[in-house]
Structure formats: C-alpha cells, structure tokens
C-alpha cells in the first residue's frame, strides 16, 4: 500500500488519532506529551502513530494534512492541529465537544 493511502486509511479508520513523537507512555517531546495529557484529561480512546518508528509517515503526513509539525490530532477524519491548538480548544471546552461521541470515553487504543 502506498504511504499516502496508508495515512489516509489510518485517519479514516480511527475516530481519534494522534501522530506524535514517541508513545503516550513515553512521549519524546514536550508538545507530544502535552497532547497526550490533554486527550487523557478528556478521557477518550485514541490511536497513535509514533513518527519516530514510522519515518515514511513523518515525511509524508504533511502532504496529507498540510501541517508541518508534530503532534497532529485528527478527529473524525479532520485535522484539529497541534498541542497549542488542542490546549486552546480544551480550555474553551470546544475540544471536549469535538471529541464527544467520537469514541467511548475511558481507554486509549495502543
């Protein structure tokens, strides 16, 4: 499968997916760590892709999302943004509304 097609499939198949540096248990940058903390506070299940373990995704995701940095959060197939945008949306209550119904609350999909 082509890398771009694989990324699009990941985004389509997962209601909430975080492309990040590291893993939720071991984030490898502060921004990815903050994104995980925000999602965990929201209590949602989410899939993740460690872009350090998938360099082809790291190089090609920006062609799909048109967003150059990581982390990148997608909800229901749409790019939400990085950790700064996630924090703004969380503080305003908009992220919780966006995530409502996207998944069952409670567990991550690791």
Reported as a pLDDT band with limits 50, 70 and 90, residue 101 is: confident
- pLDDT by residue (tens digit) across 34-90? 999 999 999 999 999 999 999 999 999 999 999 999 999 999 999 999 999 999 999
As given in the structure block, the two tokens for residue 25 are 């248990």
72 within a domain of the structure (yes/no): yes
**Residue 29 is labelled as binding a ligand:** yes
110 within a domain of the structure (yes/no): no
User: Domain span at residue 14?
Assistant: 3-104
66 within a domain of the structure (yes/no): yes
Reported as a pLDDT band with limits 50, 70 and 90, residue 103 is: low
Contacts of 12 (CB under 8 A, 6+ apart): 77
**Residue 70 is labelled as binding a ligand:** yes
Q: Specify the number of domains making up the chain.
A: 1
Residue 63: burial class (beta carbons within 10 Å; 0-12, 13-18, 19+): exposed
CATH number reported for the structural domain that contains residue 59 in this entry: 3.40.30.10
| Nearest Cα residue to 28 out of 50, 47, 45 | 50
**Residue 84 is labelled as binding a ligand:** yes
Contact between 10 and 64 under an 8 Å Cβ cutoff? The reply is no
Decide: helix, strand or coil at residue 84. helix
- pLDDT by residue (tens digit) across 7-28? 999 999 999 999 999 999 999 9
DSSP string computed for 9-46: HHHHH-SEEEEESB-SSSBSSHHHHHHHHHHHHHTB--
**Residue 21 is labelled as binding a ligand:** yes
**Residue 83 is labelled as binding a ligand:** yes
As given in the structure block, the two tokens for residue 79 are 């790019």
109 within a domain of the structure (yes/no): no
């Amino acid at each position: 499968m082509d890398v771009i097609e694989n990324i699009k499939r990941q985004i389509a198949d997962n209601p909430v997916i975080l492309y990040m540096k590291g893993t939720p248990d071991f984030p490898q940058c502060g921004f990815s760590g903050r994104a995980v903390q925000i999602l965990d506070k929201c209590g949602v299940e989410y899939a993740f892709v460690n872009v350090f373990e998938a360099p082809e995704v790291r190089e090609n995701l920006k062609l799909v999302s048109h967003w150059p940095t990581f982390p990148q959060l997608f909800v229901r197939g749409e790019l939400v943004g990085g950790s700064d945008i996630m924090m703004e949306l969380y503080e305003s209550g908009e992220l919780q509304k966006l995530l409502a119904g996207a998944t069952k609350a409670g567990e991550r999909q690791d």
